[in-house]
């Protein structure tokens, strides 16, 4: 994510489907935190007209039938909430979750760690240290159901996407680009480099919580061997992939 800049939040309609409140033109830590905190604050009001809410890297979206509710009225209500505090300094919501997720890095299960380390100007050992010592935040969910974009890694990890797509990486893959890690919810092609592999399932359609991760949650990866990962895959059937969950105050 880029350096933070001063930005005045903007409110706009998205057709007749809802309203988008944007906190930045580019992905910054400040804009992301503001979007997450603002969405949580509006949700707490429990407005009847809001059918659903979500947050992106820089925005909060509220699904509202604008054929039934006047945009001007909704915009005024949102501006009232915006005026309650400086959202660039807002705290993240309480009750978030820290997930400690075991993963294997490099080798046959994650074959592009060395390539990503070279692109970042790091040794493999230093790359592994960064990937396992940095507590990452769920910036947003997208592209596939429950799939998180995690940030933010150090500036060295502002590596570009590949010029060619990798035809397929498996569910639970950790892929790196632009100072972020994406934890794949399903097998898919990608232009990001496959640096780690977990058994964590981001989409659990038959569980009580289909999307275990939420924007604002935090993730820390721990390094395990490919053999240990195989044991988790064979023995752990709840989709957690051996992850440990801790509620943050």
Quote the pLDDT of residue 3.
Answer: 47
The distance in angstroms from the start CA to the end CA of the chain is 25
Do residues 18 and 110 both lie within one domain?
A: no
Does 131 share its domain with 219?
Answer: yes
- Tell me, yes or no, whether 14 lies in a domain: yes
**165-212 pLDDT tens trace:** 999 999 999 999 999 999 999 999 999 999 999 999 999 998 888 999
Does 103 share its domain with 160? yes
**Structural domain of residue 41, as residue ranges?**
10-89
Regarding predicted confidence, which is higher, 7 or 14?
14
The confidence score (pLDDT) of residue 249 equals 74
Q: Are residues 54 and 130 in the same domain?
A: no
Q: What is the mean pLDDT of the chain?
A: 95
* In-domain check, residue 147: yes
Structural domains of the chain, count? 2
pLDDT digit string, tens, across residues 31-68: 999 999 999 999 999 999 999 999 999 999 999 999 99
Tell me, what's the pLDDT at 62? Answer: 98
For residues 83 and 92, give the distance between their C-alpha atoms in angstroms, rounded to a whole number. Answer: 17
Q: For 146-175, give one letter per residue: b (16+ CB within 10 A) or e.
A: bbbbbbbbeeebbbeebeeebeebebbbbb
Q: What is the CATH number of the domain that holds 169?
A: 2.40.100.10
Same structural domain, 81 and 101? no
For 201-240, what is each residue's pLDDT tens digit?
999 998 888 999 999 999 999 999 999 999 999 999 999 9
Which H or E run includes 34?
helix 29-45
């Amino acid at each position: 994510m880029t350096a933070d800049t001063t930005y005045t939040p903007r409110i706009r309609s998205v057709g007749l489907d809802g309203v988008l409140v944007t906190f930045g033109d580019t992905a910054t830590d400040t804009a992301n935190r503001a979007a997450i905190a603002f969405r949580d604050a509006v949700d707490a009001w429990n407005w009847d007209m809001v059918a659903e809410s979500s947050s992106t890297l820089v925005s909060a979206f509220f699904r509202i039938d604008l054929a039934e509710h006047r945009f001007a009225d909704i915009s005024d209500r949102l501006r009232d909430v915006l005026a309650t505090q400086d959202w660039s300094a807002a705290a993240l919501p309480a009750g978030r979750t820290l997930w400690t997720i075991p993963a294997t890095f490099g080798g046959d299960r994650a074959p592009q760690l060395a390539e990503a380390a070279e692109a970042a100007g790091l040794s493999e050992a230093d790359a592994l240290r960064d990937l396992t010592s940095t507590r990452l935040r769920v910036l947003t969910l997208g592209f596939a159901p429950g799939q998180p974009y995690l940030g933010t890694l150090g500036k060295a990890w502002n590596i570009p996407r590949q010029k060619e797509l990798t035809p397929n990486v498996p569910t639970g893959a950790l892929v790196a680009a632009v100072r972020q890690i994406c934890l794949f919810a399903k097998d898919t092609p990608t232009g990001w480099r496959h640096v780690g592999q977990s058994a964590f399932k981001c989409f659990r359609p038959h569980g009580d919580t289909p999307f275990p991760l939420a924007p604002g949650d935090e993730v820390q990866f721990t390094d395990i061997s490919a053999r240990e990962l195989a044991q988790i895959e064979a023995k752990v059937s709840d989709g957690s992939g051996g992850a440990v969950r801790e509620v943050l105050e």
